[in-house]
Amino acid sequence: MKSPRGPFLGGPFLAMGAVAATLVLGATPQAEAAIVITADGVNCTLANAILTANTNVNTGGCVRVGASSSDDVIELGYDVTIATKDPTAGGDEDAEYGPNALPAITCHITLNAHGHTIQRDPALFAPPNGDGVDPCSGPGEKFRVFMVDYPGGNLDLNDAAVKNGCAGDAYGGGGFFFLGHSLNLTRVSVANNRAGMGGGIFQHESTLSVTDSTITGNAAFAGGGIYTRTGTEKVNNSRLVLNSAIAGSGNTCVDSEGQITCMPKGSGGTIALHGGSATVTGATIAQSSATSGGVLYNSGATALITGATLLQNSAVNGGVLSNAGGTAIITSATAYQNSATGSGGVIYIFGGLAKIVHGTVIGNSAPSGGAVFILTRSRTVTLADTLLQNPAGGNCALGAPGAGAISGGHNLSTDATCALAGTGDHQNVADLGLGSYTDDGSPADGRLPLLPGSLAVDTGVADGTLADQIGEPRIGNPDIGAVEYPRSARVWIGVRGKVDYGLRVDLLAEMFVNGVAAGQGQLNNLTTGQPGFAGAFFYTVPLPPVDAPSGATLDLRVSARRSCSGAGINTGTAQLWYNGQPVDSGTGEDAGSRVGATAAGQTAYLFLRDGFALDPAAGPGGASRLSSDAAVNSLTPCTGAGRPFTTFGTWSMTVN
């Protein structure tokens, strides 16, 4: 299938298009800007730039230049360290919401920080008076970093680190207190902030988007990383680690737009939801802690965690999820080594509904319910296409008569504590057929791969889920669990020159172990695109599971022939592109051709590399992409012995 294409942008920061108004702080002017104001952080500070954007009045050496517009862009060219609260806020605002480092944002601002840090001064909590770690320790002045205010505040923040904010225990949002329309964070680190609610981010009836970012080391009584009240929250391709909900007795309460919102202290190590909705996609959430809900405390919201790694989170109840109300769904996710000292190593439910679909729930622990604890007198947790192996506390435990799990079918469990009796369910399974935990450090990569012969392979049910945890396609009958066995060759196919445009091919992938055929797959009548990698197409060729023991030689041979069906030119040269990164669509798309197999007990994709090698590590890609040709024609008929294939090459490795 052709992948979407866009320009390749080298480097971590994206240039903005032409804008109506630009404020530049110590940065090189961009070509698109007709007029540029340069400041060095003294003549035009970030605080004055925000005031200039808010008021449309040049302030403190900053000049707003451009056509009349409600939107402004600030280009930040220096690290911002703030030692005192914003002096422009009134006492009433401070008393209601807590003090800020910077003027509250009341218009639409895009802030391109270009990798710079925006922080409350670490000297305010440094020893000997502070502990040097907790931003609220010591007698130093307390204030958050950003406030985005109602009704017109919108902030798009790119490529920044926001650190060390301390809103105080009575207020929300140590990093961001957000009452405006939208807050969009892209490639942002929100680190070591603290508040009463939403240590990193507090949002109220707004829209929050977090993309390609890190939320780490934040703390609050509720929602260590993020607290959302009746808003919309979306987190994509990000890492949320080491956040915590601080234990305490009673509730923590915060004033937001005249509404007092309260939640039990110790709720939601990473995320706390009070109504609204949250969708977390392609994330790693790890080593967060709470009293209730190490990852998520849900009170009346709709929450979805999909394509995620949930690793080593902990709580008293609900190492991952504590559900007080609403609906929480975890799908295509690995929950591994999470724990509770009370009940529910993964899920603790005492209200609402919860569901795990295509989960790999392994090695979690609690005294009662290593995976799931159901307190209420009803069947409120659904399990479907899920692997369960949590011997410490059993896979499920019930806290009341009438409590129980609902089977959505096709679960494999190592015990009978969940009482699963749906279609395709198997209990007391001795061996789920899983490999060792593997994680390359990228968001959502942590997983337990399936081994050949696992009962999970091909025994799930098609439920509309098109991709697994790491984005690989679910082929045919899906596998049970978070990740598919990688039984395919995934290759980029194009043509060499303009004269080859219109060529259609059949594609053959063959696997060999010690020279003996181990499996093959074929796709027919494929278009080959246009010359160069930019014109190539990305194809997935199904293969059976292949297992190569240590010391064996593992080979992949990829070949093509002029298609035996369909139209197109009769003679041409196809190209296979390889030696790239596994970026299969969008910006940065690359030639990450690869094949799935189990080598010495480790199941993974192996990449086609230079020197016709197979390698667990992807190639450098970009200018180092390579291609191999296969000249094909229609001279030989497809009948009888059949038209022969021409090989692009054979890629090999010795299994260690």
Residue 372, number of CB atoms within 10 A of its CB? 33
* Res 10 pLDDT > 50: no
Q: Where are the beta strands (DSSP E) in 484-610?
A: 488-495, 504-513, 516-527, 537-542, 547-548, 553-562, 572-578, 594-599, 602-609
CB neighbours of 254 closer than 8 A, spacing ≥ 6? 170, 171, 172, 196, 197, 202, 260, 261, 262
In contact, 218 and 161? CB cutoff 8 Å: no
Closest CA relative to residue 254, chosen from 214, 204, 208 = 204
Mean confidence (pLDDT) of the chain? 90
Q: What gap in Å lies between CA 280 and CA 208, rounded to an integer?
A: 12
Residue from 106, 99, 148, 103 nearest 124 by CA: 99
Question: Which candidate, 12, 9, 57, 11, places its Cα nearest to that of 23?
Answer: 57
Instruction: Return d(Cα 636, Cα 642) in angstroms, integer.
Output: 7
Compute the distance between CA of residue 184 and CA of residue 465 in angstroms, rounded to an integer. Answer: 28
The answer to whether residue 474 scores a pLDDT higher than 90 is: no
Q: What is the pLDDT of residues 408-436, one digit of tens each?
A: 999 999 999 999 999 999 999 999 999 99
* Per-residue pLDDT, 91: 54
Measured distance CA(511)–CA(519) in Å, rounded = 5
- How much is the pLDDT for 246? 97
Tens digit of each residue's pLDDT (9 = 90 or more) over 534-563: 999 999 999 999 999 999 999 999 999 999
Closest CA to 388 of 399, 396, 379: 396
**Residue of 291 and 377 predicted with greater confidence:** 291
pLDDT tier at 16, thresholds 50, 70, 90 = very low
CA pair distance 575, 631, nearest whole angstrom: 9
Q: pLDDT band at 69, cuts 50/70/90?
A: low
| 50 sits in which H/E element | helix 46-55
Mean pLDDT of the 271-300 span: 98
Our measurement of the distance from residue 70's CA atom to the centroid of its chain's CA atoms, rounded to an integer in Å, reads: 32
- The sign of the CA dihedral 347, 310, 468, 437 is negative
Q: Which pLDDT score is estimated for 32? A: 40
- pLDDT of 565: 86
**pLDDT given at position 88:** 79
Q: Are strands 108-120 and 154-163 parallel, antiparallel or unpaired?
A: parallel
122: helix, coil or strand? Answer: helix
Q: What share of the chain is helix, strand, coil (3-state, %, to 5)?
A: 5, 45, 50
What's the one-letter identity of residue 277?
S
Residue appearing with tokens 């991952």: 320
Choose among 384, 624, 650: nearest CA to 517: 650
Greater confidence (57 vs 528) lies with 528
Which pLDDT value is given to residue 14? 27
What is the pLDDT confidence band of residue 26, given thresholds at 50, 70 and 90? very low
% pLDDT > 70, the chain = 92
User: In which band, very low, low, confident or very high, does the pLDDT at 67 lie, cut at 50, 70 and 90?
Assistant: low
Q: What is the pLDDT of residues 286-310, one digit of tens each?
A: 999 999 999 999 999 999 999 999 9
Distance set, CA 161 to CA 28, 44, 175, 475, 631 (Å): 20, 20, 10, 40, 52
pLDDT of 3 reads 36
Residue 295's CB: how many other CB atoms inside 10 A?
35
